[in-house]
Amino acid sequence: MTIHDVTLVMRPGMPTWPGEDGPSIEPLRRIAKGDGANVSVVRFGNHTGTHVDPPIHFIEGANTVDKLPLDALAGPCTVIAYDGETHISAAWLKAHGIAGAKRVLFKTRNSELWRTRAPFDERFVAIDESGADWLVAQRVKLVGVDYLSVEPFGSGKSGHPVHVKLLAASVVIVEGLDLSEVAPGDYELFCGPLKLEHGDGAPARVFLIER
């Protein structure tokens, strides 16, 4: 059995969504200064690094991160390789025969951005509206992507349609996965978002188990 940790390392200076601060980690107590233990204060936005989007992120009054369905966060999962330069569409999904998968992670050229520690790149590959419709029609429980948004940069102008379509159908969204060292194929997924009361998002630790 091989366990793959596909979680980004939280670190100061890591790429974040424009306008959102990266993590800060500051010492509160230090043994070297005579304290009894080493303790730090960590500060970051709840959509930093590898994180989960619950419905309330884009749908007012909807479910929060502490109420996400556990059966979506753990179970069989398929990692799909996408080598296109455009966004992932329904036509592409239909042509590549992934019907039946309930948890799907997309590995794209975005994964190289994590490997090279590149700054935020608004040209990242995402899922388009037709792709979101297809995933909903397939009753997918969880969708994961290897960058900081499941939909193209600039989609706010049209009301974040990909997020809304997926979240309205109770599809759990996982963003900021590091799939650079993972081969396409079938795995067992374990995704553990922080259980933040009434949270509109939460950082998560995500493992893929290869048996």
pLDDT tens-digit readout, 58-82:
999 999 999 999 999 999 999 999 9
In a domain? residue 19: no
Give the model's pLDDT for residue 100: 84
Give the model's pLDDT for residue 160: 97
pLDDT of residue 31 exceeding 80:
yes
Give the model's pLDDT for residue 127: 98
Q: What's the mean pLDDT in 8-14?
A: 95
Give the model's pLDDT for residue 177: 98
Residue-wise pLDDT tens digits, 174-194: 999 999 999 999 999 999 999
| Residue 173 pLDDT grade (very low, low, confident, very high; cuts 50, 70, 90) | very high
Q: Which residues contact 156 (CB under 8 A, 6 or more apart)?
A: none
Q: What's the mean pLDDT in 42-71?
A: 97
Please tell me the distance from the alpha carbon of residue 166 to that of residue 62, in angstroms, as a whole number: 13
Q: What is the pTM of this model?
A: 0.96
pLDDT of residue 98 exceeding 80:
no
Catalytic option among 57, 87, 96, 198: 57
| Residue 211 pLDDT grade (very low, low, confident, very high; cuts 50, 70, 90) | confident
In a domain? residue 27: no
Q: Which residues contact 58 (CB under 8 A, 6 or more apart)?
A: 160, 163, 164, 167
In a domain? residue 119: yes
**160 annotated active-site:** no
| Residue 99 pLDDT grade (very low, low, confident, very high; cuts 50, 70, 90) | confident
> How much is the mean pLDDT over the chain?
96
Please tell me the distance from the alpha carbon of residue 139 to that of residue 167, in angstroms, as a whole number: 12
In a domain? residue 109: yes
Q: Three-state DSSP class for 205?
A: strand
Domain that holds residue 151: 2-10+46-210
Residues 124-145 as b/e (b if ≥16 CB within 10 A, e otherwise) read bbbbbbbbbbbbbebebbbbbb
In a domain? residue 39: no
Q: What's the mean pLDDT in 28-39?
A: 98
CB 182 within 8 A of CB 107: yes
pLDDT of residue 36 exceeding 80:
yes
CB 188 within 8 A of CB 209: yes
Q: Residue 153 sits in a domain of what CATH number?
A: 3.50.30.50
Q: What's the mean pLDDT in 14-39?
A: 96
In a domain? residue 145: yes
In a domain? residue 154: yes
In a domain? residue 187: yes
Number of domains in the chain: 1
Q: Which residues pair with 185 in a beta bridge?
A: 79
